[in-house]
Amino acid sequence: MSTAALDGLLDPLTSSLDPTALRQISDYRIPPDVQARVDYLAQRANDGELTPDEDAEYEALIDGAALITILRLKAKRLLAA
């Protein structure tokens, strides 16, 4: 998905949030147990040992983390404006 398409999808959402919600998004951190799972799957991926189910899980976690990162950046920009 292009950056412009992603902006078009997310901007209406992030611009409708109040400062409290923006701060919560901006301050969000991946929970330690989820990060540990990502780290475990990353190591298995590097070793070429992922099962098909683990591969799907790893991809979903990476995609989710990327989306969260984008939302956090958008929230920080809106709070700074």
pTM, 2 dp: 0.82
pLDDT at 21: 96
**Who's near 19: CB < 8 A, 6+ residues apart?**
79
pLDDT at 51: 98
pLDDT at 47: 98
pLDDT for 11-37, tens place per residue?
898 889 999 999 999 999 999 999 999
pLDDT for 36-72, tens place per residue?
999 999 999 999 999 999 999 999 999 999 999 999 9
Model confidence at 1, pLDDT cuts 50, 70, 90, reads low
Tell me which DSSP letter residue 48 carries. T
**Cβ(50)–Cβ(44) below 8 Å:** yes
